[in-house]
Amino acid sequence: MNALLAYLPTVITFVAVLAILVLAHEAGHYLAARFFKIDVEEFGIGFPPRLTGWKRGTMTWSINWIPLGGFVKIKGENESGHHEPGSFGSKPAYARGLVIAAGVLMNLVLATVMFTAAFALGTPQLAEDLPANVHARDYRVQIIEVLPKSPAEKAGIYVGDIIDKLDGTTYATVTEIQDHVNASATDGVVAVIRRGNTIFTRAIVPQLDPTSGRRLMGVALVETALVSYPIHVAAWKGIQATGFYLKEIILTAWDLIKSLFVAQKTAVEFSGPVGIAVLTGRMAKLGLASLLQFIGLLSVNLAVVNFLPIPALDGGRFLFIVVERLRGRAIRPKLEAWMQAISFYLLLALVLLVTLQDLGRYRDQIFSVIKSVFGMS
């Protein structure tokens, strides 16, 4: 039971992050629908079955049992040809398109808010050539890369970890740490590692690199400081970060799509619910600012993925409206319904495939949790 409780914060954080992302997205649809005077029949927090609900005017607010986000039910949204007053279909194409796109736009707004908050709280940055208007503190040597199958990876070292001490001595520079590791005995070094608010020790046995002739842990190190910005500067940097990640994710998605038609390998790795839950736990341990940045990155990802021109997603529904405008009439309801159903099941199959991949990738951690829960050695 104690082992299970140890992982409870990760589960709660994952559910909270997912709820924030989905509710922000649905709030975008809701606000846009109200702006264009489209009736909203229900705004649900969580997914059915319903726990409780109350009515305000013609709309129901509900709280549901499955706490993984929420939903907005807009009058006539999924009924082609539904043209009653106040219905989705009664509005012009531009209004319907903006209602659909509003969820994606709200995710970009959420990302900007998360990045802004992170920059205001303080994020790790290189401790050199810092602007004059920032507050820098907590100077440290931080790990920015862990090589596969390296001594550091075998010791359970992660990207973002901070080296507080080596063999009881505190070092302020990368060079000092590298020199100490190189001079270490064959039985290795004992490193005091800081990960968020957690401090622990790891025994690392450096390997001799035949090229350089030096003993190496298999990590890349930088000297960083925790840098916080005034709120107006943090807001601008939040906007810049959102734009940067939006561009990078779109380019990555485009490369991935091209790789489907051209014989080339892609370095893109997907993560499903299991992978995101594991990463959320890691980010939470690194501190609030790191978790906020992670939420911002997930929100940008959700915006891009949800606007892909796939019928079951907002991007596909937006595409149907564009096609309607170009051809002067809507796509036949039966054809649209079939396209949405097929794409939905294909996406469901993709999620299942990615989840199986995550289970393989994180199997050691998952088995460790299962063993500890059931008292297995």
In this prediction, residue 377 carries a pLDDT of 47
C-alpha span between 56 and 86 (Å, rounded): 16
- Say whether pLDDT at 366 is over 60: no
Q: Given the structure tokens 């046995």, which residue do they identify?
A: 205
- Mean pLDDT of the 107-114 span: 96
| DSSP state for residue 169 in the 8-state scheme | B
- Say whether pLDDT at 273 is over 70: no
- Say whether pLDDT at 374 is over 50: no
Q: Which residue has the higher pLDDT, 268 or 154?
A: 154
In this prediction, residue 224 carries a pLDDT of 85
CA 370 to each of CA 3, 137, 312: distance values in angstroms, whole numbers, following the listed order: 9, 40, 35
- Say whether pLDDT at 125 is over 90: no
Rounded to 5 degrees, φ, ψ at 22 are -70, -40
Q: How confident is the model at residue 100 (pLDDT cuts 50, 70, 90)?
A: very high
Compute the mean pLDDT over every residue in the chain, rounded to the nearest whole number.
Answer: 82
Q: How confident is the model at residue 341 (pLDDT cuts 50, 70, 90)?
A: confident
| DSSP state for residue 89 in the 8-state scheme | G
Q: Which residue has the higher pLDDT, 278 or 368?
A: 278
Report yes or no: 144 and 220 within 8 Å, Cβ to Cβ: yes
| DSSP state for residue 332 in the 8-state scheme | P
- Say whether pLDDT at 213 is over 80: yes
In this prediction, residue 116 carries a pLDDT of 97
In this prediction, residue 7 carries a pLDDT of 63
307-338, pLDDT tens digit by residue? 988 888 888 889 988 988 888 777 777 787 78
219-263, pLDDT tens digit by residue? 999 988 888 999 999 999 999 999 999 998 888 877 766 665 655
From the centroid of its chain, how far is CA 154? 26
- Say whether pLDDT at 268 is over 60: no
Report yes or no: 171 and 177 within 8 Å, Cβ to Cβ: yes
Task: With 0.85 as the threshold, say if the pTM is over it.
Answer: no
C-alpha span between 52 and 311 (Å, rounded): 32
In this prediction, residue 34 carries a pLDDT of 92
In this prediction, residue 239 carries a pLDDT of 96
C-alpha span between 210 and 157 (Å, rounded): 23
- Say whether pLDDT at 82 is over 70: no
- Mean pLDDT of the 344-362 span: 71
Closest CA to 101 of 248, 321, 325, 331: 321
- Say whether pLDDT at 2 is over 80: no
- Say whether pLDDT at 355 is over 80: no
C-alpha span between 8 and 312 (Å, rounded): 33
In this prediction, residue 195 carries a pLDDT of 86
Rounded to 5 degrees, φ, ψ at 327 are -95, -5
| C-alpha torsion angle, residues 318, 292, 126, 159 (rounded to 10) | -90
Closest CA to 163 of 208, 227, 221: 221
Closest CA to 120 of 293, 273, 255, 263: 293
Q: How confident is the model at residue 33 (pLDDT cuts 50, 70, 90)?
A: very high
- Domains parsed from the chain with CATH numbers: 135-228 (2.30.42.10)
Rounded to 5 degrees, φ, ψ at 204 are -120, 130
